[in-house]
Chains A and B, each alone.
Chain A
Amino acid sequence: MRAWIFALAVSAGALCTADVIVIQNGTVHTVTKGTFKGSIVIRDGKIAEVGEKVMTPAGARIIDASGKHVIPGIIDAHTHIALDSINESSVSVSSMVSVEEMLNPESISIYRAMAGGVTVCNSMHGSANSIGGQNVVFKLRWGADARGLVYDKAKPSIKMALGENVKRQGSPQGLQIPGLQSPQNLRYPGTRLGVEDVIRDAFTRARAYQREWKDYEARRARGEKVLPPKRNLELEPLVEVLEGRRLVHAHCYRADEILMLLRVFDDFNIRGVTLQHVLEGYKVAREIAERGHGASTFSDWWSYKIEAYDAIPYNAAIMHRKGVLVSLNSDDAGGAELMRRLNTEAAKVMRYGGLTEDEALAMITINPAKQLQIDQWVGSIEPGKDADLVIYDRHPLSVYAKVEKVFIDGRQYFDRDEDISRRPKIEAEKEGLRRKLQDQQKQAVPQNRRPS
């Protein structure tokens, strides 16, 4: 297994070639600057030039994209892939933990999601508690180590969650597994009323903590001899939120709880939040838009629980039309599944609500980039941006489209033809290992006694 992953990583590395690459004569969907037949020049990992006609530097690697479509790398604002652990659910405020420590660079989900055109993702803490842990934004640079994956330009963020998932551990019925739930180990909160209290209480404490430090700094500046306050790792990330240095991704479903959260954010002057799932966002789109918060939602999920019973596939279209910045996400956890086809998830906003091609593509590229505050570097095909690009064999919003090539920072990490041509070799290697194991087992029978 490991050997195979390594083989993939090595051959991915081998795909990296010339410093200058020109993707020629494709249909270029820039997302922000229109769609046209043209070419893209990649230099030093960045997009150097885009246009109907470009200068082809000598010695450049030429990729013929005639009849093909190029889009910016897909950005998934909500996944849980490549994490060895997702939920720290023993407390209702777990802001002190970070899933970045859990990032597993060998997770095959990275390769699979990337083969579906995703180049950047926000892998998050789970939704077990009102205030969850810290998230990690990474580029799907398959083959890199954990540190090499992390996208260091992304602003830090924290997960929050409302509703059923949070209440579950406070419910006397809970997960309804006999023996595991008892009144003694119920965790507050068990209602949406309690959820608000937990959040309000945490930010109230964070504000007091912030003041404590400010007082200390002020007194020290005045030359007073004072002891610094005791550091509080739970509240520090929340102070960063209050100071606009850390983004918030808040899992929510129902209109009432969304509105509750908006009011709490108003009271603490928290801006630029991305509401996650936000399946009833369409009911309070005006309130979300007025505050400039964003929404990252599913295309067509519904009815899997009671808080998703009023979910509609028109959610993204309504919110978008009412002025909310909308992205579409996968929420993949066990493995990369939906991440492999976010392009066709985007096409669903055309089916349900009649949005345009550009609006649909924006919801998986520039809009999530804005929500993660990385739109300065990724999310569209523009000179100066990272060369994170996907080449499809046909229009990316078609169900028949396949990803052919993926570039991240100008380096090619996926090639469908090479993936296919590699398969017999991998199969033969696996067969060889299988045989070796069988032989060892046969030989091991008589020698199975341990020395006494």
Chain B
Amino acid sequence: MRKMRLILSLALCAAAWGGEKDSFLLRNATIHPVSGPAIQNASLLVIDGKIAEIGPKVAPRGKVKVIDARGLHVYPGLIDSGSPVGLAEIASIRETVDTGEIGDFNPQLRALIAINPSSEHIPVVRANGITTVLVTPGTTGGARGSTSGGLIAGQASLVHLDGWTWEEMEIRRGAAMQMTWPVIQTGRGGGPDLEGLIPGLAPRRVTFAEARRNQQMQVQKIQDFFDAARRYQKAKAAGEAIAPDLRYEAMIPVLDGRLPLMITAAREREIREALEFAARERVRVVLAGVRRPGKTLDEIAKRNIPVVLGTPFVTPLEEDDAYDEPFTLAAQLHKAGVKFCFASFNVQFARNLPFQAGQAAAFGLPYDEALKSVTLNAAEIWGVADQYGSIDKGKYADLIVTDGDPLEIRTQIRMMFIKGVPVDLESKHTRLYRRYMARP
């Protein structure tokens, strides 16, 4: 309760600042820029939402508010590189879920425009230090790389977890095109395991040859779609009179290599095919939901292909895998020289993003890399590292102030700033906590 009151009083004093609400001087803190080593007992000056100065002694400029952060730590806000937060409220109730549109190819869909800024999930997630989320229109990243939302689910949008409207939340509305590489499925595989729920409803088991044919047909569909989009692009560039098509229009930035294609591919075979495809099509690719890269790991590293890792909080892929296989994956990627970031690919557990990185650090990933995987690496992968992802002069002040290591579970997040503006850390959960603790 004492800690609760402290958070509350900090929030209140934040609200009472008035005047320049996105400028302040924070003093006596340990600052962890992530881009460099920690600076003890330092100050941080934020002017107009941007970091103006960092150092042992910084003079207040004008009448900016001064925050004493003695004993506290400052980190960049954490970034979740894939979650449908804001698009899905209650997982089991379809009416509250806006992921997974009907159809195989929906590149024209933009996650941003359906984000509910009043979702109860938003304050809950940010209370754990997450300022920024790549909101995905598909539901990628199941344990076996399953996805709903077709082969191309739409455009994922990078947003801040604060704003009165989705426009105010926007960082980049088209940050990545979300795609899933088809998987060879002989029986169970993608999707929910209905077998356990209703006997007789198990997906029909097919032979490997048949499953392979099905998969090849889907791959061909992707190729045909890209070919058609390219013809559209050429015709348009040549000034031909063609009927506008929003799907192909949306593909142009992908074909140009301006918009990264985030392809979910869990296992070696899918990864290899996806990489071959990306090379042939000369598109920028980011791999997502990688679980078993096998021999493709070297190529991923050599071609500098970034990877979005899902949660390590899953069971090993196979019965005879090592018990810690999901925990050691990040360390394996790091050792191979692959740049990666973490995604929750989930709504209710999005708040556990920092612990995903912590778990990877427990199983061999160097701590600094773990921290980068939820901050600077993510900003670099989504092309916003010039403005976000670390505490550096000139970047936006997306900050969290904590009483310790943000990847450690017992650490408390004391303050949050998005673009220098203090953000409320209260949520439905803290409100109910106070209400029912007070019940006589």
Q: Which residue of B lies closest to A399 (CB)?
A: B358
Tell yes or no: A36 within 8 A of B by CB: no
Q: Which residues of the partner chain B approach A347 to less than 8 Å between Cβ atoms? A: 409-410
Q: A4-B320, A303-B348, A353-B433 are in contact. Are A341 and B408 (CB under 8 A)?
A: no
In the bound complex, CA of A311 to CA of B256 (Å): 46
In the bound complex, CA of A260 to CA of B70 (Å): 50
Q: Which residue of A lies closest to B412 (CB)?
A: A351
In the bound complex, CA of A402 to CA of B362 (Å): 7
Tell yes or no: A337 within 8 A of B by CB: yes
Q: Which of A1, A309, A340, A351 is in CB contact (< 8 Å) with B410?
A: A351
CB-based contact B315/A1 at 8 Å = no
Q: Which residues of the partner chain A approach B412 to less than 8 Å between Cβ atoms? A: 351
Q: A334-B193, A340-B323 are in contact. Are A314 and B409 (CB under 8 A)?
A: no
Q: A111-B323, A303-B348 are in contact. Are A350 and B313 (CB under 8 A)?
A: no
In the bound complex, CA of A400 to CA of B351 (Å): 18
CB-based contact B429/A312 at 8 Å = yes
Q: Which residues of the partner chain A approach B91 to less than 8 Å between Cβ atoms? A: 303-305
Q: Which of A86, A301, A402 is in CB contact (< 8 Å) with B363?
A: A402
In the bound complex, CA of A301 to CA of B350 (Å): 11
Q: Which residues of the partner chain B approach A13 to less than 8 Å between Cβ atoms? A: none
Q: Which of B1, B358, B436 is in CB contact (< 8 Å) with A400?
A: B358
Q: Which residues of the partner chain B approach A234 to less than 8 Å between Cβ atoms? A: none
Q: Which of A4, A108, A354, A400 is in CB contact (< 8 Å) with B362?
A: A400
CB-based contact A423/B322 at 8 Å = yes
Tell yes or no: B411 within 8 A of A by CB: yes
Chain A count of residues within 8 A CB distance of the other chain: 55
Q: Which residues of the partner chain B approach A309 to less than 8 Å between Cβ atoms? A: 90, 120
Tell yes or no: B239 within 8 A of A by CB: no
Number of A-B pairs whose CB atoms are under 8 Å? 122
Q: Which residues of the partner chain A approach B407 to less than 8 Å between Cβ atoms? A: 399
Q: Interface digits, B351-362 against A, CB 8 Å rule (1 contact, 0 not)?
A: 110010011011
Q: Which residues of the partner chain A approach B428 to less than 8 Å between Cβ atoms? A: 312
In the bound complex, CA of A303 to CA of B408 (Å): 24
Tell yes or no: B243 within 8 A of A by CB: no
Q: Which residues of the partner chain A approach B59 to less than 8 Å between Cβ atoms? A: none
Q: Interface digits, B187-201 against A, CB 8 Å rule (1 contact, 0 not)?
A: 000000100111001
Q: Which residue of A lies closest to B413 (CB)?
A: A351
**Interface majority SS on A: helix, strand, loop or mixed?**
loop
CB-based contact A348/B409 at 8 Å = yes
Tell yes or no: A61 within 8 A of B by CB: no
Tell yes or no: A302 within 8 A of B by CB: yes
Q: Which of B120, B352, B439 is in CB contact (< 8 Å) with A300?
A: B352
CB neighbors of B among A98-126 (8 A): 108, 111-112, 115
CB distance from A143 to the nearest CB of B (A): 15
In the bound complex, CA of A302 to CA of B352 (Å): 13
CB neighbors of B among A293-321 (8 A): 300-306, 309-310, 312-314, 318, 321
In the bound complex, CA of A305 to CA of B432 (Å): 18
CB-based contact B90/A305 at 8 Å = yes
Tell yes or no: A253 within 8 A of B by CB: no
In the bound complex, CA of A103 to CA of B264 (Å): 36
Tell yes or no: A383 within 8 A of B by CB: no
Tell yes or no: A32 within 8 A of B by CB: no
Tell yes or no: A335 within 8 A of B by CB: yes
Q: Which of A313, A318, A334, A341 is in CB contact (< 8 Å) with B437?
A: A318
CB-based contact A318/B433 at 8 Å = yes
Q: Which residue of B lies closest to A350 (CB)?
A: B410
CB neighbors of B among A328-351 (8 A): 333-338, 340-341, 344, 347-348, 350-351
CB neighbors of A among B159-208 (8 A): 193, 196-198, 201
CB neighbors of B among A251-288 (8 A): 282-283, 285-286
CB-based contact B429/A314 at 8 Å = yes
CB neighbors of A among B319-365 (8 A): 319-320, 322-324, 347-349, 351-352, 355, 358-359, 361-363
CB-based contact B347/A303 at 8 Å = yes
CB-based contact A306/B359 at 8 Å = no
CB neighbors of A among B388-440 (8 A): 407-412, 428-430, 432-433, 436-437, 439
CB-based contact A304/B319 at 8 Å = no
Tell yes or no: A430 within 8 A of B by CB: yes
CB-based contact A399/B429 at 8 Å = no
Q: Which residues of the partner chain B approach A289 to less than 8 Å between Cβ atoms? A: none
Q: A177-B198, A347-B410, A354-B3 are in contact. Are A337 and B313 (CB under 8 A)?
A: yes
Q: Interface digits, B1-36 against A, CB 8 Å rule (1 contact, 0 not)?
A: 111000000000000000000000000000000000
Q: A300-B351, A321-B437, A400-B362 are in contact. Are A337 and B315 (CB under 8 A)?
A: yes
CB distance from B372 to the nearest CB of A (A): 17
In the bound complex, CA of A301 to CA of B201 (Å): 28
Q: Which of B193, B196, B323, B409 is in CB contact (< 8 Å) with A344?
A: B409
Q: Which residues of the partner chain B approach A282 to less than 8 Å between Cβ atoms? A: 432-433, 436
Q: Which residues of the partner chain B approach A353 to less than 8 Å between Cβ atoms? A: 433
Q: Which of B120, B352, B436 is in CB contact (< 8 Å) with A283?
A: B436
Q: Which residue of B lies closest to A314 (CB)?
A: B433
In the bound complex, CA of A153 to CA of B178 (Å): 53
Tell yes or no: A212 within 8 A of B by CB: no
CB distance from B129 to the nearest CB of A (A): 11
Q: Which residues of the partner chain A approach B320 to less than 8 Å between Cβ atoms? A: 1, 4, 108, 426, 430
CB-based contact B409/A312 at 8 Å = no
Tell yes or no: B121 within 8 A of A by CB: yes
Q: Which residue of B lies closest to A181 (CB)?
A: B198
Tell yes or no: B279 within 8 A of A by CB: no
Tell yes or no: B217 within 8 A of A by CB: no
In the bound complex, CA of A237 to CA of B313 (Å): 37
CB-based contact B436/A301 at 8 Å = no
Tell yes or no: A60 within 8 A of B by CB: no
CB distance from A158 to the nearest CB of B (A): 21
Tell yes or no: B93 within 8 A of A by CB: yes
Tell yes or no: B113 within 8 A of A by CB: no
In the bound complex, CA of A337 to CA of B412 (Å): 26
CB-based contact B92/A310 at 8 Å = no
Tell yes or no: B235 within 8 A of A by CB: no
CB-based contact A306/B93 at 8 Å = yes
Q: Which of B315, B351, B408 is in CB contact (< 8 Å) with A399?
A: B408
CB distance from A326 to the nearest CB of B (A): 15
Q: A4-B320, A177-B201 are in contact. Are A399 and B355 (CB under 8 A)?
A: yes
Q: Interface digits, B305-326 against A, CB 8 Å rule (1 contact, 0 not)?
A: 0000000011110011011100
CB-based contact B355/A286 at 8 Å = no
Q: A301-B348, A334-B315, A402-B363 are in contact. Are A314 and B323 (CB under 8 A)?
A: no
Q: A300-B352, A314-B429 are in contact. Are A398 and B436 (CB under 8 A)?
A: no
Q: Which residues of the partner chain B approach A301 to less than 8 Å between Cβ atoms? A: 348
Q: Which residues of the partner chain A approach B2 to less than 8 Å between Cβ atoms? A: 354
In the bound complex, CA of A400 to CA of B322 (Å): 19
Tell yes or no: A374 within 8 A of B by CB: no
CB-based contact A306/B92 at 8 Å = yes
In the bound complex, CA of A306 to CA of B120 (Å): 13
Q: Which residue of B lies closest to A283 (CB)?
A: B436
CB-based contact B90/A312 at 8 Å = no
The 8 closest A-B pairs by CB, nearest first: A399-B358, A335-B315, A314-B433, A347-B409, A305-B92, A312-B429, A350-B410, A400-B362
Name 13 extra pairs, CB < 8 A, besides A303-B120, A347-B410.
A1-B320, A175-B198, A283-B436, A303-B90, A304-B91, A304-B348, A309-B120, A312-B428, A312-B429, A312-B432, A321-B437, A353-B433, A402-B363
A-B contact pairs, 29 of them (CB 8 A): A1-B319, A4-B320, A112-B316, A112-B323, A115-B323, A282-B433, A283-B436, A285-B436, A285-B439, A300-B351, A300-B352, A302-B429, A303-B91, A304-B90, A306-B92, A314-B429, A314-B437, A318-B437, A321-B437, A340-B323, A341-B313, A341-B359, A350-B409, A350-B410, A351-B410, A397-B410, A399-B358, A400-B362, A402-B362
